[in-house]
Every structure is written in C-alpha cells, then in structure tokens.
Structure 1
Amino acid sequence: MAKAKLTFKDINLTVSAPVGVRVIEISEKVGSGIIYGCREGDCGTCLMEVEEGWNNLTEPSVVEHKVLRENNAGRHQRLACQAQVLGDATVRPV
C-alpha cells in the first residue's frame, strides 16, 4: 500500500499515512487538535488549514464545497472528515 507523509503542525508530528485515508482518521490516532462533530461532511467542525500539499488531497465533493461556503472557509481550508490523503501534506486545525 502506498504511503504519504502527513504533518500535523499543531502537535509538530509527521506520520506515514496510507494513501486514501481521511485526514480525520489519522488526526484521531495521533491526538491532533482537529475536532469533529459528524464525519459526514455536513457540520463543518473539522475545518483545517492545508499549509502545504493542497494538491495532494482529494478534490472537495459537492457536499464539502457546500459546507465550506456556508462556513466562509478560506482558499486552503478543507474538512478533515472529507479530505483523503493522496501525497505529502501539512495541516493544522483552524
């Protein structure tokens, strides 16, 4: 299985993550401060800033786009419950 480096800036930790895993799954395991309320992409609590590797995450779905707009998310913000790792990325909670 392919792996990528996922860095959580809030806890200064880089881990090897399987490609295709959602950021929230790794965040939970390592104790990052990315919080969540659902896992379905419709509440917006797991909003994160992608500092590096924006293109190394899956494209936002229609549902994620809607929630990002409703939450006035910035250009490099994503939902950790929706973004899947495709390559190296650096993220932090908003």
Structure 2
Amino acid sequence: MAKAELTFKDINKTVSVTTGTRVIEVSEKENSGIVYGCREGDCATCIMDVLDGWENLSQPSVVEDRILRENAAGRHQRLACQAQILGGRVVVKPA
C-alpha cells in the first residue's frame, strides 16, 4: 500500500499513514485535539484546519460540502471524519 505523511500541528507529531485513511482514524490513535461526535459527516465537531497539503486530500462529498457551508467553515477547513489522505504530505490542526 502507498504511504503518506500526516502532521498534527497541535501535538507536533508526524505519522506515516496508508493512503485512503481518513484523518479522524489517525487523530484518535495519536490523541490529537481533533474531536468528533460521529463518523458520518453530519455533526461538524471534527472540523479541522488544513495548513498544508490541501491537494493531497479527497474532494469533499456533497454531504461534507453541505455541512461545511452550514457551519460557515473557512476555505481550508474540512471534516476529519470525511477527508481521506491520498498521498504526499498533509498538515492539520483542530479548528
């Protein structure tokens, strides 16, 4: 499997992940400050800031896009429960 690099700026930790992994899965294991209340892209508690590597994440789904708009999310914010790492390097922090 292809690997990518994910950095959690809030805990200053970088980990190697398998491509296709959702950010929330890694956040849980590494005890990052990105919290969540669901895994279906419906509650928006896991909104995160993408500081670098935006292009290395999956495109937002229709559901994620709607939730982000409803929560007035910024241009470089995503739901950690929905964003999949496609490769390269991604740097995130809790919103």
TM-score range, shorter chain: over 0.9
Q: Secondary structure at the match of 1:29?
A: helix
Across the two proteins, how many residue pairs are aligned to each other?
94
Which residue type is aligned with residue 44 of structure 1? Answer: A
**Alignment match, 1:90:** 91
Q: Secondary structure at the match of 1:48?
A: strand
Q: Give the distance between the partners of 2:86 and 2:59, measured in 1 at CA.
A: 10
Q: Give the distance between the partners of 1:90 and 1:26, measured in 2 at CA.
A: 13
1:14 paired with 2:17, answer no
Q: Any gaps of 5 or more consecutive residues in structure 2?
A: none
Which residue type is aligned with residue 20 of structure 2? Answer: G
Q: CA deviation at 1:16?
A: 0.1
**Alignment match, 2:23:** 23
**Alignment match, 1:81:** 81
Which residue type is aligned with residue 28 of structure 1? Answer: E
Q: TM-score when scaled to structure 1?
A: 0.99
User: Taking every aligned residue pair, what percent have the same amino acid on both sides?
Assistant: 70
